Structure 1
Amino acid sequence: MYRTAKKGVENKMTQPILLITGSSRGIGTATAFKAAQKGWHVVINYKSNETAALTLQQRIEEFGGKADCIQADISDPEAITTLFEKIKTKFGLLSGLVNNAGILEQQMPFTESDLDRWHRVFNTNVIGTMLCSKEAYKHMSPKHGGNGGAIVNVSSLASITGSPFEYVDYATSKGAVDTFTKGFAKEVASENIRVNAVRPGFIETDMHATGGEPERVKRLAPSIPMQRGGTADEVANAIIWLLSEEASYTSGTFIDVAGGR
């Protein structure tokens, strides 16, 4: 994965730089560690859990990889702008972005949810993903001095199933991410920027506890063709492949990591 910067490009390192939003837990953490193993200089973004982010950084450095932590709330447009400016100033131009930051709220039927909740979910899951992608474009586009790159959006199989009676607003936000992935991929393909997405199914992470049911995956396992939930590492494997040169002719597409659902 090591690449040499082109002449005249503002890169401070030969290692490709990868930003993973919301990478202090779950899928983001697994992806960060695997990316570091593949030679990426990983920028660990976190909203509030500095301890988890620093622990991940230490783990990567003990392995011999390169990582740095930057705090930013992906629901805040100004924080996103500052995040990307810090990366460019401190490390150079990004070659990769994983839009992993995402939230859901307590399980409930859609008719019991309210506008404030929808705004919170969409501000992070949709607007945050779109703004981060726009800022990453400024790093990657040859028009701005970049060398191209790869963006992977973490969507959800809920964008297809709709997640009725639990997370319709979350599922709707991920449907928007899917549409954005398709459209943005076509816009930037000629600039050597690839945009893809993974759609995890029921994955064993602490996100389910956030929604109010820590054992949700166990309850739903019988409905999964493979009869089990997935792991964060299994999702990370798909993300890493989409970031890699092995996926050099893949853009605007999706990998469902959902046990056959």
Structure 2
Amino acid sequence: MAQSIVLVTGGSRGIGAAACLRAVELGHAVAVNYVHNKAAADAVVAKIEARGGAAFAIQGNVQSEADVLAIFAACDEHGQLAALVNNAGIVDYPARVDEMSAERLTRMFAVNVVGSFLCSREAVKRMSTRHGGKGGAIVNVGSAASKLGSASQYVDYAASKGAIDTMTVGLALEVADEGIRVNGIRPGIIDTDIHASGGLPDRVAKIEANLPMKRAGTADEVAKAIMWLLSEEASYTTGAILDVSGGRAILP
């Protein structure tokens, strides 16, 4: 019998890596997708194997359709897809909208939106009962920024995550009777290195005293929420978007 697989895009660091480590609890083999850092992905695989789980790393950039097809083909070689976590995403340096280039916007939406659509398309083709699949689950990683707007910082990022919210609801309704549940999460300020990649390495330290819980969240706290949405405990939950933001709603 082919092993079941959960694919986590952007699985070599941050929330993605934490989700990969937690996915062992569901009994699936874990496909750890990465773009550049093979060593980091291999380290996540090693940690999963040390916990008695099965895992493998797959290189590929979700903004490339060819790469997405290759990622899913690699999963097919290892077993049967049971779940997808659309986690891969990027931010850019803080800027106002009137300072943003077309190149920046194109890249932002290619990775954060088009990539999630392409991966969801391929997952549905494999999991939907309409296509001969056995069902499954998709969790889209959005952001509290989709509700806050991220003015003077990342309006483009916030808008891309707003698109993910909309996709989550629409796709959930589209495949609800095909054995696939589609849900989303909106993390708030989470202590990962994504802030450094956006040019604000000390962002958490500067604002956590102003957060409702007076601290940032952890990647593992988000991963636990992802795993609940993927699990059978959430068997009647689809089209839902869960805020994992420590109560952050309107604070900058």
Place the TM-score, normalised by the shorter chain, in its bin. over 0.9
**What is the match of residue 65 of structure 1?**
53
**What is the match of residue 113 of structure 1?**
100
Measured in 2, the distance between the counterparts of 1:114 and 1:222 equals 33
CA deviations over 1:18-40 (Å, ceiling 9, x no partner): 00000000000001001113322
Check conservation: 2:26, 2:231, Cα contact below 8 A.
no
Look up the SS of the partner of 1:22 in the other structure. coil
Q: 2:27 aligns with which of 35, 39, 42?
A: 39
Q: Cα distance, 1:222 vs. partner?
A: 2.8
Look up the SS of the partner of 2:243 in the other structure. strand
How do 1:121-140 residues align onto structure 2 when only pairs under 5 Å count? 121-140=108-127
**What is the match of residue 82 of structure 1?**
70
Check conservation: 1:93, 1:146, Cα contact below 8 A.
no
**What is the match of residue 227 of structure 1?**
214
**What is the match of residue 42 of structure 2?**
54
TM-score (norm 2): 0.96
Counterpart amino acid of 2:79?
A: G
How do 1:163-242 residues align onto structure 2 when only pairs under 5 Å count? 163-242=150-229
Look up the SS of the partner of 1:95 in the other structure. strand
Q: Cα distance, 1:155 vs. partner?
A: 0.2
Q: 2:79 aligns with which of 68, 73, 92?
A: 92
Gaps of 5+ in 1: 1-10
Measured in 2, the distance between the counterparts of 1:31 and 1:70 equals 16
Check conservation: 1:41, 1:66, Cα contact below 8 A.
yes
Alpha-carbon RMSD across the aligned residues, in angstroms, is: 0.9
Counterpart amino acid of 2:149?
A: G
TM-score (norm 1): 0.93
Aligned residues: 248
Counterpart amino acid of 1:194?
A: R
Look up the SS of the partner of 1:160 in the other structure. helix
Counterpart amino acid of 1:150?
A: A
Measured in 2, the distance between the counterparts of 1:141 and 1:39 equals 20
Q: Cα distance, 1:137 vs. partner?
A: 0.3
CA deviations over 1:19-64 (Å, ceiling 9, x no partner): 0000000000001001113322100000010000001101111111
* 1:24 aligned onto 2:44: no
**What is the match of residue 3 of structure 1?**
none
Check conservation: 2:82, 2:127, Cα contact below 8 A.
yes
Identity of aligned residues (%): 52
